[in-house]
Amino acid sequence: MNNKAGHPDPTPQRESFTELLGQLAQNSAAVVHDEIELVIRRIRERVTVGRRGVVLVATGAVISLAAFMALCAALIVGLTAYMAPAMAALVTGVALALLGGVMAAIGYQQLKKAVLET
């Protein structure tokens, strides 16, 4: 009776060291590739969310600017009860220019301080 003919060898075939290293390299490359894909997907998601936020901020800024201009027009119309329309527009323009200049100067100082601290 031939014992080898009917029964497979009970000891499993062992892979060589070079085959194991090859599998390790393939698996490592696959893991690195998957991690890179995951990072790229997360960055794309964040960019999409950021883009939506920027669009909303820009839209809000445009609407706020329109509202501010309407309020300026209302101020000028209101001041025409006390002075000439040209003078009312001039007073409103000068007041807004001074306010904008003060705000810009304060912002510049804060920016300058922040840049010098780093």
58 and 97, same domain (yes or no): no
For 77-108, b where at least 16 C-beta lie within 10 A, e where not — what string?
Answer: eebeeeeeeeebbeebeeeeeeeeeeeeeeee
Does this model's pTM top 0.75? Answer: no
Tokens (6 digits) for 9: 């060898």
Is position 73 within any domain? no
Is position 25 within any domain? yes
If pLDDT is split at 50, 70 and 90, which confidence band does 84 have? very high
Q: How far apart are CA 70 and CA 83, in angstroms?
A: 19
Is position 72 within any domain? no
If pLDDT is split at 50, 70 and 90, which confidence band does 1 have? very low
Domain range for 35: 16-67
Residue with tokens 């820009």: 58
pLDDT, tens digit, for every residue of 94-115?
999 999 999 999 999 999 888 8
pLDDT, tens digit, for every residue of 14-58?
778 888 888 888 998 899 999 999 999 999 999 998 899 999 999
94 and 57, same domain (yes or no): no
61 and 95, same domain (yes or no): no
